[in-house]
Chains A and B, each alone.
Chain A
Amino acid sequence: MSPINFALLQAEYPELIAEWQALQRWFTKNWRKQYAELSLLLRDIKDADRLRLVLAIDLMVESGMLTISYRLRSPDGDLLEGDFDEPDQIPEELWSRDASHLIPRSESDIVSGFRWEFADAA
């Protein structure tokens, strides 16, 4: 995984300047999290076109600056343990957060999330 470099992204994809600026503001504020769900990014970043924002985030994944992972959210809303590189790698059951019982994949939702290192917020 490469550190996020918005200067490089803006240079390579100048047509997405508004999205890079919006993302840079978000990552500057939230870099310590080192993980964020797609839904959170879309909810927090309102000053960008949604489709273009998704494309920009995908380019960050393609560039190696973000790592995408998939997790299961239980019917109760809990994010279950386990990150998976692709959705079809998720097992048919995962343990509940308190490890008291197994939760079927078929009863859960899949959420996309992203991890990053952060070296350049400028």
Chain B
Amino acid sequence: MPRRTRGITPAEIEVLEQLHLQLRMNNGAGAEARIAYYTAAKNQIGQPAARLAMMLFEANIPINQLIQNYGGAPDVQNNNPGGTNVTQTAGGNMVGVNATGTQTIRDITVYSQDLDQSGASISAAMKIALIDARDAIEKSEIDPAMKPTIVEQFDKLTDELKKGDARNPGVVAGLWNMVYGAVKAFPTAVNAVVALGKLQGLIGC
């Protein structure tokens, strides 16, 4: 992939992935959703990146294609003069998807332990609500193609909440909308919706 003068950094990709997912989950092709997408992108990664993000979305470029090409080191070796088969891998962390195309989701026990270590940044009531919601999502009858992504976004929401007063309200709201909107789309995920409803009041969304 070509080197750009300003590059697309992994941090920008991560923001775009979150916003892209939110847009797709909420059928966000209309003007209002796209304006919200642009504004959120501009606030987080700047106007030039937001402009490019809008173009990529309008062109229906899959976010995974962007991640595969830019989700790591800016330079990817494209040629192999001595061979015929080239495997391209981006260096660094692949956001959300590993090399085999599967997502690794933390076990609920590990999730709970991590939460216990968050100290005073998360209240006891919120910890219980987070664990209940996470557990309910994992046990719910959500399409297996969607569940890992939803759980991953829920974990990112948790990570943002752990920042306490330093949390970014826009990020919290965006991640919440993604998770809640996605879970609500499954009529069979009643328990997860109820658990998320209990969490909603505590996080102020």
Contacts and interface: CB of A to CB of B under 8 A. Distances in A.
Interface residues of A, number: 30
Given A15-B3, A39-B58, A54-B56, A86 B31 contact: no
A52 B39 CA distance: 24
A90 interface: yes
B81 interface: no
Interface residues of B, number: 28
Contacts of B204: none
B55 A54 contact: yes
B52 interface: yes
B2 to A, nearest CB: 4
B54 interface: yes
A50 B62 CA distance: 11
Contacts of B42: 86, 88
| Chain A binding surface, main DSSP class | helix
Nearest to B69: A51
A110 B31 CA distance: 5
A39 B69 CA distance: 23
B35 interface: yes
Interface of B: 1-6, 29-32, 34-35, 38-39, 42, 47-48, 51-52, 54-56, 58-59, 61, 65-66, 69
Interface of A: 13, 15-16, 38-39, 42, 50-52, 54-55, 57-59, 61-62, 68, 72, 86-88, 90, 105-112
